Chains A and B, each alone.
Chain A
């Protein structure tokens, strides 16, 4: 049961029905109204929002509107400062994944415009050194998506123009300037090791095979979670300059099944992909989740404890 309220006061009074707002981690929404809803026998006053991207309805308790970081779409001056920040090439990537993960999570949940810019810029700087792990690749894409949406909404330009402009700042083309200052042209970054396709296949069936194998490779090489894999990389990999990374051709894929390999094949594949990697320290047995299936009980003893944990995690 719900009733609509006329001309309500939302948040600190700065938001009104019909305003375009930014919902942290969701993107641009429009406030459609304030309703009184009865949920689990209690009356709740909720602010209803419509996400512009897909029309999804989001309901936020009115008392929590300011707490979750709902804010108006940035103005043109703020977007101008965003581009100043993006065009500033001096960004050192945070190499400690724990610190990076915590900082980026805080920035994204905070929902601030400049927080999103920092996430994008930090991950972009890191991607110039080495390819991002899957979770951070997704975060990079989310941050980009939110920023492009807000730039387009604030400047009233198409999304495509907003993204091109964002990348004119991040990957400046030849002769690009920002407020009269020439920007250094983009250089070639390191390619991702896992990829698909060549030129000689016409229908992409080779793509599929390569894609499957390439997809299997990181899964096989991953010791456990993406964070642990990253941690291991942090210990051993030093950031290599782009040309060196380009020269280091990815290993030739060995014949692998097209589907994602099971734990057994992952174990076999590991030495070929990461021969120099240190063995993960064994974790106390008490931390391991008890295996339910009797046949699987024997397997964990053969492989490092970290792997067992990761597998169990994945199954949850």
Chain B
């Protein structure tokens, strides 16, 4: 089951759309679990964005998770991530690979010219994919394609390519439940 927790206010139809898209992409149940609050301690040094890694680690919620449950946090706040060898790049979410928690933001979607529900669903599918150990995909139409690439806006449908879909199905089948 994919459990969605909103950390900002989203119209109900947007959350519903995201939930249905996740169900279509992964064949798993997906439902809105409730609302939460992004921890203020996760604000970065410049107080302009939330550190996604810290936010996930310090998130205080009462969501009951069973084996193989994945939890997805949705926010509209800007996110950042620790600096890597290439410096800082665009960050629209973060996922604990092969684990249970992911966060995706709707921040910056308006600049890309993608409708809120479609963009958010695509990002949500991307980060949930990382929870199933999926890597980035070169196919611009796949939800696992990097979000900063032109393919994100060019192909607004929320779906996985065949390779990613089969891989996620294998992983889901191997799950402990």
Residue ranges of A at the interface with B (Cβ–Cβ < 8 Å):
53, 79-80, 83, 87, 124, 127-128, 131-132, 134, 137-138, 140-141, 144-145, 148, 151, 155, 157-165, 167-169, 171, 173-174, 176-178, 186-189, 191-192, 194-199, 201-204, 207, 211, 214-215
Contact = CB atoms under 8 A, between A and B. Distances in A.
B97 A131 contact: no
Pick the 9 closest A-B CB pairs, nearest first: A204-B24, A197-B159, A165-B84, A173-B148, A168-B86, A159-B97, A127-B138, A168-B89, A165-B86
Contacts of B162: 192, 194-196, 211, 214-215
Contact of A192 (B86, B87, B141): B141
B148 A171 contact: yes
A209 to B, nearest CB: 12
17 contacts: A134-B163, A141-B163, A141-B167, A144-B135, A160-B81, A160-B94, A160-B96, A164-B91, A176-B89, A195-B139, A195-B142, A195-B159, A195-B162, A197-B157, A198-B159, A207-B24, A215-B162
B23 A204 contact: yes
B150 A186 contact: yes
Interface of B: 20, 23-25, 27, 53, 81-82, 84-87, 89-91, 94-98, 118, 130, 135-136, 138-142, 146, 148-151, 154-163, 165, 167
A161 B82 contact: yes
B9 to A, nearest CB: 24
Contacts of B87: 168, 176-177
B84 A199 contact: no
Contact of B157 (A167, A177, A199): A199
Given A173-B89, A207-B159, A211-B162, 16 more contacts: A137-B163, A145-B135, A155-B85, A158-B94, A161-B82, A165-B84, A168-B86, A168-B87, A171-B149, A173-B90, A188-B140, A192-B163, A196-B165, A197-B159, A198-B157, A214-B162
A192 B89 CA distance: 27
Contacts of B23: 203-204
Contacts of A157: 82, 84
A201 B51 CA distance: 35
Contact of A211 (B84, B157, B165): B165
A51 to B, nearest CB: 13
A203 B20 contact: yes
The residue among A134, A171, A201 with the most chain B CB atoms within 10 A of its own CB is A171
B133 to A, nearest CB: 8
Contacts of B130: 160
B107 to A, nearest CB: 15
A178 B96 CA distance: 26
B150 A163 contact: no
A222 to B, nearest CB: 14
Given A171-B149, A211-B162, A191 B140 contact: yes
A189 B86 contact: no
